[in-house]
Every structure is written in C-alpha cells, then in structure tokens.
C-alpha cells in the first residue's frame, strides 16, 4: 500500500479505503443507477432526508453505543456471558483449517480486498442507489436493516463470548488477511474484538444488502448480480481468512434474513 507514504499507517489505510470506495461508487453510480437517476438526486434527496431522518438517527445511536461501549460490554460478556468457543469447535472441528490448507497467494490477496474494500462498497453503494429512487421505502428499509443487524449483533456479542478459529488453532489457522496486506491490521484492530465472532456481522450485513438488492431486481438488475457476487465473496472470505467459524457465518445468514423479513414486513 504505497499511497500517502508520509502518513501514519491507520490514516493511510483509511484514505486508501475512502478513495477506493469513492471511485467504486462513482463507477457503479454511472453504470448501475444511470445518469438520469443521478441527475434526479437533486430532486429526490431533500424529501428522502426528511423521511429517513429517524432511521439515520437510530443507526447513529447504535453505532455510537457500539464504538464507545464495546469494551464495557466485552467485560460483561467475559464475566457473565456464555462461553461457546469449545461448543463451536466441537461441532465444526477443523473446517476453517482445512479451508486454509488450500490457500493460494492470489486467492488470499483477492479475498483480503473483498473482505475490506468489497464489504465497504456493499454497505455504501446502496445508499446512493436507493436515494435515487422516487420512493424512500427501500432506503428506509436499508437503514432499518443496518440498525437491526448492529443492535442484535451487539446484544448477542454481549451474551455469547467466543473466540475465532485463529485464536483456538493458532498452529493451524493464521490471520491470512495480514499476510499480503499487513496494513489492514491497523484498521481492523480499531474495529474488531477477537471475542466478538458470533454471529459474523460481515456476513449478516453483506447478505442483508444482497437480499434487499434482490427485492429491487426489476429496478437494478445489475446490482442484484453484483451484490450477490460480492456478498458471497465476503461471506467466504471471513472463513478463508481465519476470522470466523462456519457457524458464525450460518448465524450471520439467519440474522440477515430475519432483519430483511422484519423491515420488509413493517417498514413502508
């Protein structure tokens, strides 16, 4: 990662991430949303902002709680939570280690980029895509689904104390995310806590975006395909890179589908 060499590693990684996502959103905006809808943002956004303000506020509250309260909640989890690492390992065994035994440098680099850049793009782009629609329903559902994922995830993280496979099998599972792109560690250590693995929020949020994209397939057919591919890549990368167990992924998929059902049922 050679861009911005004079900056601190964390700031450099963040700037590269923002640059990549911004470029991706611009390209996808032109090719998927289309020039006509993009021009219409001037007309649609002001009304949408008023309608989605409560959803933005709720998401903001959850993100603030997550950012500033996660260490305290982790302490609660460590003292009173359910220790499920052994149970998870007993059920699925060395599946992640087996997966990593087939790792290649090319696949590791691709999946590392997918885990970081692809995931961030998945979460950001639909905000633009749905803001360009005449009705605000899809944008409200997206924001509500994000909020539910984070809120439920935070509760489960507090109830369940579980380490990932790289902590349980360090001689068999390595942090492949940092082997080809070591600078990513400066970003992920600011966000992830090693005992917060069940469920996989990378999985739940990615699948949430793909599921909501499927519901707008008539409007954005290309986005339906692209989000499905990216979500699959993100889900697979969480296991391949040694971050999550397969059971974390299954739980993340269940969480995603539940959140999508709730928002589609109750958010209009």
Q: Crossing angle for the helix pair 221-240 and 119-131, nearest 10 degrees?
A: 160
Place of tokens 């290309």: 222
Q: What is the pLDDT of residue 182?
A: 65
Q: What is the pLDDT of residue 122?
A: 96
Q: Which stretches in the chain have pLDDT values below 70?
A: 1-10, 182-195
Q: What is the pairing mode between strands 82-83 and 160-161?
A: parallel
Q: What is the pLDDT of residues 180-206, one digit of tens each?
A: 776 666 566 556 666 678 899 999 999
Decide: residue 233, CB within 10 A, 0-12 exposed, 13-18 middle, 19+ buried.
buried
Place of tokens 């902590």: 167
Which residues make Cβ contacts (< 8 Å) with residue 89, sequence separation at least 6?
A: 165, 168, 245
Q: How far apart are CA 55 and CA 145, in angstroms?
A: 10
Q: What is the pLDDT of residue 52?
A: 92
Nearest alpha-carbon partner for 110 in 179, 199, 33: 179
Instruction: Return the domain boundaries, the chain.
Output: 9-30+38-266
Place of tokens 């409560």: 54
Q: How far apart are CA 114 and CA 241, in angstroms?
A: 11
Beta-bridge partners for 82: 160
Q: What is the pLDDT of residues 15-56, one digit of tens each?
A: 888 889 999 999 999 999 999 988 888 888 888 889 999 999
Q: Is 19 left (phi over 0), alpha (psi -120 to 50) or beta?
A: alpha
Decide: residue 10, CB within 10 A, 0-12 exposed, 13-18 middle, 19+ buried.
middle
Q: How far apart are CA 130 and CA 209, in angstroms?
A: 11
On whether the CB atoms of residues 254 and 152 are closer than 8 A, the answer is no
Q: How far apart are CA 101 and CA 107, in angstroms?
A: 12
Positive or negative: CA dihedral 245, 192, 151, 28: negative
Q: What is the pLDDT of residue 78?
A: 80
Q: Crossing angle for the helix pair 184-191 and 9-28, nearest 10 degrees?
A: 90
Q: What is the pLDDT of residue 202?
A: 94
Nearest alpha-carbon partner for 153 in 60, 242, 248, 241: 248
Q: What is the pLDDT of residue 47?
A: 84
Cis peptide before 199 (omega within 30 of 0): yes
Q: How far apart are CA 211 and CA 35, in angstroms?
A: 25
Q: How far apart are CA 97 and CA 112, in angstroms?
A: 17
φ and ψ at 134, to 5 degrees? Answer: -65, -40
């Amino acid at each position: 990662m050679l861009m911005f060499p004079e900056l601190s590693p964390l700031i450099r990684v963040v700037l590269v991430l923002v640059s990549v996502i911004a470029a991706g959103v611009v390209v996808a905006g032109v090719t998927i949303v289309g020039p006509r809808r993009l021009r219409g943002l001037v007309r649609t956004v002001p009304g949408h902002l008023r309608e989605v303000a409560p959803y933005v506020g709720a998401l903001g509250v959850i993100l603030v709680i997550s950012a500033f309260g996660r260490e305290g909640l982790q302490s609660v989890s460590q003292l009173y939570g359910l220790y499920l690492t052994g149970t998870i390992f007993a059920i699925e065994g060395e599946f992640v280690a087996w997966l990593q035994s087939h790792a290649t440098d090319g696949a590791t680099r691709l999946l590392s980029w997918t885990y970081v850049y692809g995931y961030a793009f998945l979460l950001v782009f639909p905000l633009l895509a749905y803001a360009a629609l005449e009705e605000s329903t899809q944008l409200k559902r997206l924001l509500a689904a994000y909020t539910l994922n984070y809120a439920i995830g935070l509760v489960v993280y507090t109830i369940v104390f579980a380490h990932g496979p790289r902590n349980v099998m360090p001689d068999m599972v390595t942090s492949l995310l940092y082997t080809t792109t070591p600078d990513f560690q400066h970003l992920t250590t600011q966000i992830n806590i090693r005992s917060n693995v069940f469920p996989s929020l990378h999985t739940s949020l990615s699948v949430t975006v793909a599921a909501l994209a499927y519901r707008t397939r008539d409007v954005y057919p290309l986005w339906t395909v692209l989000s499905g591919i990216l979500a699959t890549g993100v889900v697979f990368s969480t296991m391949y890179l040694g971050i999550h167990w397969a059971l974390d992924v299954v739980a993340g998929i269940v969480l995603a589908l539940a959140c999508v059902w709730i928002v589609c049922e109750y958010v209009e």
